[in-house]
Amino acid sequence: MNIQNQLQATVEALVQQGKGILAMDESSPTIAKRFKPIGVESTEENRRSYRSMLLATPGLGEFVSGVILFEETLGQKADDGTPLPALAAQQGIVPGIKVDKGKLALANAPGDEITEGLDGLALRLESYKQQGARFAKWRDVYHISATTPSRLAIEANAEVLARYASICQTLGIVPIVEPEVLIDGDHSIDRCAEVTEAVLHEVFHALHCYHVILEHMLLKPNMVIPGKTHAQKASPEEVAEQTIRVLRRTVPAAVPSINFLSGGLTPEEATANLNAMNCLAPQPWDLSFSYGRALQQPALQAWKGNAGNAASTQAALYLRAKLNGAARHGSYSVTMEPAQE
């Protein structure tokens, strides 16, 4: 199969009605933060045990088409010796890999950051592909304040995302492009819309310059929402209206799917917002999810590091995936949420 056919096959496997992507690519420091509230030490064995348990969730492939793994996880095995990418593939879930190396301060742009990891990326991707990865993810972040993001940050991060996507496609790996305008701050929803529009406009300009094939990539953006300390909270309908307006101004129709990040939203908020978007008139792209915490948080609470809680942990993940699958069709309702104890 040639490169273009590989890319198309992976896109078709990822973009399916009623399905989205499970982000399970937390770095070691981040997964330690997730484990701490439930009293679990972040050892390699605990990480392997937890993630293999999630991937073995019965029926997960009904609502999840792809999973983003951390580099460590890509090389780990389930208790029976099955490599974790193969465990995902057994459920019809496409294995993917986070390939960026984290963010650092952007020189000459106070308060802004840029993501590193382009050096040696092609060699790493070849290795990841041999381990079963068929798509990749790279995240850049943008802080909103009175002075950020600067024009330098918007342009520099766009170029990095485009270079990454271009390298991926030359090797037959579908790139997920993730420009995240952060929820941190007290900015209004209008300010978030302004920044998100500027960011996405520059990202697609850079993708064009680097000859990235839009039909063979996915976009993973933030929703347009107020900062988490802003006095005015937005309804799902307002989030949907503002988000779709920005996307229609910036994202070409050739992009097959937009898989939103949850970015600090609660599981319920992330699902309700996605549902509201899919209740609007049909859009030129699929509107789906690529959630981490918004899918895993209930599962973590059920697990608590106890192997005896595997069934309830998997049930919690399955339910959250099912609810987001309903949101993909615009058929989610808060009455579908489990009763609060």
**CB of 203 closer than 8 Å to CB of 247:** no
Domain ranges for the chain: 3-336
pLDDT in tens, 27-77: 989 999 999 999 999 999 999 999 999 999 999 999 999 999 999 999 999
Given the residues 26, 159, 178, 269, the one annotated as active site: 178
**Is the confidence at residue 226, as pLDDT, over 70?**
yes
- 178 a catalytic residue: yes
Q: Which residues pair with 23 in a beta bridge?
A: 68
pLDDT of residue 327: 98
CATH 3.20.20.70 at 3-336, yes or no? yes
Task: At 271, give phi and psi (nearest 5°).
Answer: -70, -45
Catalytically annotated residue among 113, 220, 241, 322: 220
User: Both ends of the chain: CA-CA distance in Å?
Assistant: 52
Predicted confidence band of residue 1 (pLDDT cuts 50, 70, 90): confident
- Whole-model pTM: value is 0.97
Assess whether 33 carries a catalytic annotation.
no
Are the C-beta atoms of residues 181 and 227 closer than 8 Å to each other? no
Q: For the chain, where are the alpha helices, taking DSSP H only? A: 3-14, 28-35, 44-55, 71-74, 84-90, 121-130, 151-170, 189-209, 236-250, 267-278, 293-303, 310-328
CB neighbour list of residue 62: distance below 8 Å, 6 or more residues apart: 18, 19, 321, 322, 325
- pLDDT tens, residue by residue, 181-203: 999 999 999 999 999 999 999 99
- Alpha carbons 84 and 48: distance in angstroms, whole number: 9
Strand 20-24 with 64-69, pairing:
parallel
Kindly report, residue by residue over 264-320, the tens digit of the pLDDT: 999 999 999 999 999 999 999 999 999 999 999 999 999 999 999 999 999 999 999
pLDDT band at 341 (very low <50, low <70, confident <90, very high): low
